[in-house]
Structure 1
Amino acid sequence: MPPGQGNVGCTVTGDRRGGSEEGRPAAHAAGKGERLHRVILDAVPELTPRLWYGMPGYARGSGPVLCFFRADERFMTLGLTDKAHFEREPNQADQLMPSAWFFSHLDEPTERRVAAIVRHATAAHRR
């Protein structure tokens, strides 16, 4: 794996010796995080992973972080920063634009949606 594209932010603290009940949820969260990390980089390979407020974030080169994620025991969060590409849906009456998504596991349809969100959010951004 190239430098800077390791398991950024996927390190888990706690007991991971396998025999501890306490270590299993943390290890499960780390596994989900590693898979989400791979989905993001497969969607946009030129993204540069780096820590952003203690979470894995992704930027184009040395630019601002555009998207990030968090993997906990129960849920994962995919979020966009204010530097990501946003646009309202066509014919949308309100001003709301989604910037975060919660999900409990990564299945194929969710992976495809995450990849599409990341591609769109990182396509163009404000500097």
Structure 2
Amino acid sequence: MEKGFSKEEREAMKARAAELRTAGKSGTKKAQAERQALLDVIDGMPDDEKAIVTRVHEIVGELAPDLLPKTWYGMPAWARDGKVDVFVKHASKFTMRCTEVGFTEDAHLDDGAMWPTVFAVTEMNPTVEKQLVDLVGRIS
């Protein structure tokens, strides 16, 4: 049994510490630094993950322009007033089988007594894109 944090968890904690240092900035410089951090993460991804996350980034920008791009524990994320609404846990970062697109409680996607908040995505295709457009469009 492994003791302590995994390599991936330690890397995520280091990324979060760097993000918190950026949080000390304000205004345009902060937004630019956070956007660039997100683009740098996307740029370092394998092509299949890059295609998924790039399209998520475009969809969020089109349908929820008030959500600002940033990283969250080293993952691509989009936030309003500093609170993450949407994030992507890319498979290669956490040695997972597939990439996950997630929505926090701040996205307010409530649908009855139970609803999903994380979606496994193996490829970007018209069906996946339509579902993401619907979900991002519902963020309140």
Do the structures match in fold with TM over 0.5?
A: yes
Q: What TM-score do you get using the length of structure 2 for normalisation? A: 0.60
- C-alpha contact (below 8 Å) 2:88/2:101 kept by paired residues: yes
Give the match for residue 123 of structure 2: 105
Q: What is the alpha-carbon distance in structure 2 between the residues aligned to residue 78 and residue 42 of structure 1?
A: 17
Once the two structures are TM-superposed, the CA of residue 8 in structure 1 deviates from its matched residue by 5.7
- C-alpha contact (below 8 Å) 1:12/1:27 kept by paired residues: no
Give the match for residue 20 of structure 1: none
Aligned CA-pair RMSD: 2.4
Number of positions where the alignment pairs a residue of Structure 1 with one of Structure 2? 103
Give the match for residue 83 of structure 1: 106
- C-alpha contact (below 8 Å) 2:51/2:124 kept by paired residues: no
Query: Cα gap change, 1:85/1:8 in structure 2, threshold over 3 Å: closer, same or farther?
Result: farther
Which consecutive residues of structure 1, in runs of 5 or more, have no partner in the other structure? 14-25, 90-94
Q: Equivalent pairs: percent with the same residue?
A: 22
Q: What is the alpha-carbon distance in structure 2 between the residues aligned to residue 9 and residue 41 of structure 1?
A: 17
Query: Cα gap change, 1:43/1:8 in structure 2, threshold over 3 Å: closer, same or farther?
Result: farther
Paired letter, 1:12: G
1:28 matched to 2:45? The reply is no
Structure number with higher helix proportion: 2
Once the two structures are TM-superposed, the CA of residue 86 in structure 1 deviates from its matched residue by 3.5
Which consecutive residues of structure 2, in runs of 5 or more, have no partner in the other structure? 1-30
Give the match for residue 9 of structure 1: 41
Paired letter, 1:68: F
Query: Cα gap change, 1:87/1:53 in structure 2, threshold over 3 Å: closer, same or farther?
Result: same
Q: Deviations over 1:11-45 (max 9, x none)?
A: 316xxxxxxxxxxxx23322332222212222212
Describe the SS at the equivalent of 1:57: strand
2:114 to 96, 101, 104: 96
Describe the SS at the equivalent of 2:110: coil
Q: What is the alpha-carbon distance in structure 2 between the residues aligned to residue 8 and residue 68 of structure 1?
A: 15
Once the two structures are TM-superposed, the CA of residue 5 in structure 1 deviates from its matched residue by 4.4
1:44 matched to 2:64? The reply is yes
Tell which deviates more after alignment, 30-39 or 44-53.
30-39
Once the two structures are TM-superposed, the CA of residue 112 in structure 1 deviates from its matched residue by 1.6
Paired letter, 1:85: H
